[in-house]
Amino acid sequence: MNASHRFCIAPMMEWTDRHYRYLARLMSQQTFLYTEMVTSLALIHGDRTRFLAYNEEEHPVALQLGGNQAKQMAQAAEWGAEAGFDEININVGCPSDRVQAGGFGAYLMREPKRVADCVRAMKAVTPTPITVKCRLGVDDDDSYAFFHDFVSEVAEAGTELFIVHARKALLKGLNPKQNREIPELQYDKVYRIKQDFPKLEIILNGGVKSIPEMQQHLKQVDGVMIGREAYKHPQFLLDIDRVLFDADGTKNSLVDVVHLYCRYMDDKLKEGVPLNAMAKHLLSLFQGVPGAKLWRRHLSEHIHQAGADTAVIEDALLLMQRELSLVD
């Protein structure tokens, strides 16, 4: 699938599950979506069907993998491709202690040969694109030369697309949240890597919060990836297709999105999916809109109750609309 990465939503553990991705797709048809990270060992030893589950409406969607053993990564990539994912992405950016203990994520920035070996092994078993999400460096290995050498070696192995979080990672002393905020943003290094490797597709990630900011970055790189802003303030997704992709875009309003997502949840409830597992992604939908606090409070108080169904969502919407005098 030759889909554009002009705008992507980042993989986020416990957030970008298949339910959130379906919700995001109701607001933007063009956005490239990414799964939560799944480790190669989880696929090999765990419930592979559950880990690889997604909705057909999510395309284009990428599977993000964590791991550092070429044979295991190749097996995981093969299963991901067979499941129909449009891309397999290698996590070389997460700085969490758990990921470090496993010897992957940002830790792998220091081992470009190992990453390249994984890429070659994965490309040998599937034609599905193999991409990499990385940082600018780690700890004191933060020079542009270090970053350039990493990209060069991994690109030579066959990776044609790099998603770059425009910060280095500090592997000791900072938690993942701090690693998203404290290390300095260095967009110039991401721009420069695109200039040095013009044939590569370079996607910029980190610190971007608005469509005007995206438009500025897109003058220098091929795409922009946003994480928490797309989750906590998702309304701008309604404008993405029209503004960034020059496409017709959705005609759905936020209220339309709620009704459509309720239909989806009704179907999943019949399959035994708990309401709160799906409805939690709606909490921030009206962020910044008058009545949003009432919306969040009603959902927070009711979606976890035994036997709760989408009537909870419809009630919350009605309460908010009444507050705004949109209905009698």
User: What pLDDT, on the 0 to 100 scale, is given for residue 174?
Assistant: 77
> Which residues are known catalytic residues?
94
At 137 the three-state DSSP class reads: coil
CA 309 to chain centre: 27
Contact indicator for 24, 227 with CB cutoff of 8 Å: no
CA atoms of 210 and 191, how far apart (whole Å):
19
Give CATH for domain 254-323.
1.20.120.1460
Domain boundaries, given as residue ranges, for the chain: 7-243, 254-323
User: What pLDDT, on the 0 to 100 scale, is given for residue 97?
Assistant: 76
Contact indicator for 208, 226 with CB cutoff of 8 Å: yes
Q: Which fold has domain 7-243?
A: TIM Barrel (3.20.20)
Give the mean pLDDT of 151-176: 93
| Mean confidence (pLDDT) of the chain | 94
Quick one: pLDDT band at residue 1, thresholds 50, 70, 90? very low
Quick one: pLDDT band at residue 172, thresholds 50, 70, 90? confident
Asked whether the predicted pLDDT for residue 32 surpasses 50, the reply is yes
Domains 7-243 and 254-323 share a fold: no
Longest alpha-carbon distance in the chain: 65
This prediction's pTM: 0.94
User: How many degrees, rounded to 5, is the angle at CA 242 between CA 238 and CA 243?
Assistant: 95
Over residues 272-312, the pLDDT tens digits come to 999 999 999 999 999 988 889 999 999 999 999 999 999 99
| DSSP conformation letters of 64-102 | EEE---HHHHHHHHHHHHHHT-SEEEEEE----HHHHHT
The angle that helices 144-156 and 187-196 make with each other, rounded to 10 degrees, is: 40
